Structure 1
């Protein structure tokens, strides 16, 4: 086996410590990465002696380099975990006859308009959606409208408007290409997510969590995060609906991250992706259930068993709190050490300081362990009190 890793994340997140997630050793595996945002973090010659760095802001260049590396290294598999690169990797696989996720399999998880229509066609609860080219005066709803990219990620490229007549302005703000946008009825409520592993046509593992705040509101909040649900009716309902959604979208070998609205009338599907969730979700799932979602995703793209062996639960849960990079510029390790259940604290130095552009642009990452949801919420309040007391706003 000769895998090629296409990396757009912090390197050790994708490949594991010393590249342990990736099959093979030495020159049998190649790495295509970037310098930005930790693309070479913890890189070593021993783990990846064959490494190529490119500008990943240029999609055509990236695909050409990936194609060249597959051809010249005789790669047998492509590992690609970032949502921006999933379809690109599928096209390169197709050109070289490699196994792995195909463009047809991935499109329902990537095109949000196709995704919503597929889920709705299966009779599953989903907010009404239509093309952004639809006549604004004839929308099948009367309340607020979400205008968002069909291809966006990380809760970016989203605008919420109160009136239908404001939609053209929102389309202009999002680039003016209505064919690449969709309109969706705004949903009041909280949000949750389910992170699952699909293998051999069935869901072999799933973990449900609730978001601490709405992901789409990151530009006007000080923090975000989520906490794993270990029991209760909400967890059961989420796991059930998630499995139905994945069956509708297609059960190919992959790790999935699906989001749901939690309303007074029940659950509604929001969107899903065929890759591990970001923002520390993999960490809290691993700590709570003993399952490494990133390693599973890497192994599945290499045609291997995902190695899902959940550990025995002690009933506790874990949650991650991400304080956004523009909230404060202080190291909070000492004051946070007094918070009950603190598992870890990490300060993140932003590559580009300033306004938050993405739902996981964290300046501080806090992981907590708690006996249950109430205990977690109490510890969360203490973390936020420390942030408010000790932090100083960034310029």
Structure 2
């Protein structure tokens, strides 16, 4: 018997996100009847033998999704057994659908503490985790925190990819932020600026116990896209700092005793202090999926899917000797004039967002890069060297 499921999608069903490295679908037709809710823009990618029914919506308004979900849940006279979503922005709508349709799985109250940065930090602060001083955005809250700390960060409560993140040092700069976002300031938070390097820990978790995790560091600021250069992220090798971050990660994840699946956790290291940044109940973006799979043999998206379906959670069978790193390469207003033929044994993965003859506008978030390049190396220096070589070769392909 095949399992009827609703997939809430904004990636495109026939995209590489839903495939293994060898091209097999994560939704084999002998296991699933997929009832897809996708966007009108991604409708051309709604192809595959596992698809039982497709509904495309023009936006992500919850009432529209609920209407589509009710239709898909009852399609063919057999109620859907699961609702799955594999991207961060769809996790809360998927939880709302489960609750409305009485389908097993996470409810909105389970997900909001991974999505909204205000209840997220409040939840962890109440459990003794060091988080930045924060508040929902208001003119009073922002000026109070600015006076106390000298520098604050203003960012959306729900967005990802460092979109609309503002680092503010003066009242005049705050006024500029307020003018720019005056129609949606209620969607923002303000918090103290932590002057430290940011790291991410990506974990496979079973009932709040970390089974396997990797640690990476941001070599450049996550706001690099604003200058249109590049962003590097390189994995940490074994050592005291990695062990310290893994211990902090386990401490944070223990605050979610019922959680099973995949977590992407970001933290600052500042003046010998580890400070929580944010956490998400999903796979990390950029080259994290490819690097994690190279290092451990585990596919984070497949693991997230299995968790939402109530299936088994894998543990690593062994680690590769080499570490990995990835680059977001930003190339705006230039045209790809020839095919990229980068063929190196250390190239783990290459994802191009442009085709020949295309050019991209300036990026509006961290992940809107022309290319995502993932490489391996024996140490951080070699990974950096190989990222630079790959970037140079790809850049030469743009006119």
What's the TM-score once normalised by structure 1's chain length?
0.88
SS of equivalent residue, structure 1 residue 215? coil
Q: How many residues are paired up?
A: 387
Task: After superposition, give the CA deviation of every residue in 1:314-350 in whole Å (9 maximum; x if it has no partner).
Answer: 421122222124174335734x44x672334343228
Are residue 262 (structure 1) and residue 264 (structure 2) matched? no
Contact 1:127 1:268 in 2 (8 A): yes
Q: Which runs of 5+ in 1 are unaligned?
A: none
Which structure carries more relative contact order (alpha carbon 8 Å, separation 6+)? Answer: 1
What corresponds to 2:388 in structure 1? 381
Matches within 5 A, 1:206-221: 206-221=213-228
SS of equivalent residue, structure 1 residue 333? coil
Provide the rounded CA distance (Å) in 1 between the counterparts of 2:88 and 2:182. Answer: 20
Cα distance change on mapping 1:79 and 1:154 into 2, 3 Å? same
Question: Which of 186, 191, 203 is the equivalent residue of 1:184?
Answer: 191
Contact 1:321 1:366 in 2 (8 A): yes
Contact 2:27 2:50 in 1 (8 A): no
Cα distance change on mapping 1:63 and 1:175 into 2, 3 Å? farther
What corresponds to 1:83 in structure 2? 88
Cα distance change on mapping 1:321 and 1:228 into 2, 3 Å? same
What corresponds to 1:2 in structure 2? 4
Give, in angstroms, the shift of residue 295 of structure 1. 0.2
Provide the rounded CA distance (Å) in 2 between the counterparts of 1:75 and 1:274. Answer: 23
Contact 2:294 2:320 in 1 (8 A): no
Q: Which runs of 5+ in 2 are unaligned?
A: none
Task: After superposition, give the CA deviation of every residue in 1:77-121 in whole Å (9 maximum; x if it has no partner).
Answer: 011122222111111111222111111111111110111222223
Cα distance change on mapping 1:34 and 1:280 into 2, 3 Å? farther
Provide the rounded CA distance (Å) in 2 between the counterparts of 1:76 and 1:233. Answer: 45
Question: Which of 205, 208, 211 is the equivalent residue of 1:204?
Answer: 211
Matches within 5 A, 1:1-395: 1-11=3-13, 12-16=15-19, 20-22=25-27, 25=30, 28-36=33-41, 40-41=44-45, 43-72=46-75, 74-133=79-138, 134-139=140-145, 141-249=148-256, 251-306=258-313, 308-326=314-332, 328-330=334-336, 331=338, 333-334=340-341, 336-337=342-343, 341-349=346-354, 353-386=360-393, 390=396, 392=398
Cα distance change on mapping 1:24 and 1:343 into 2, 3 Å? closer
Contact 1:222 1:327 in 2 (8 A): no
After the TM superposition, which segments of 4 or more aligned residues of structure 1 sit over 6 Å from their partners?
none
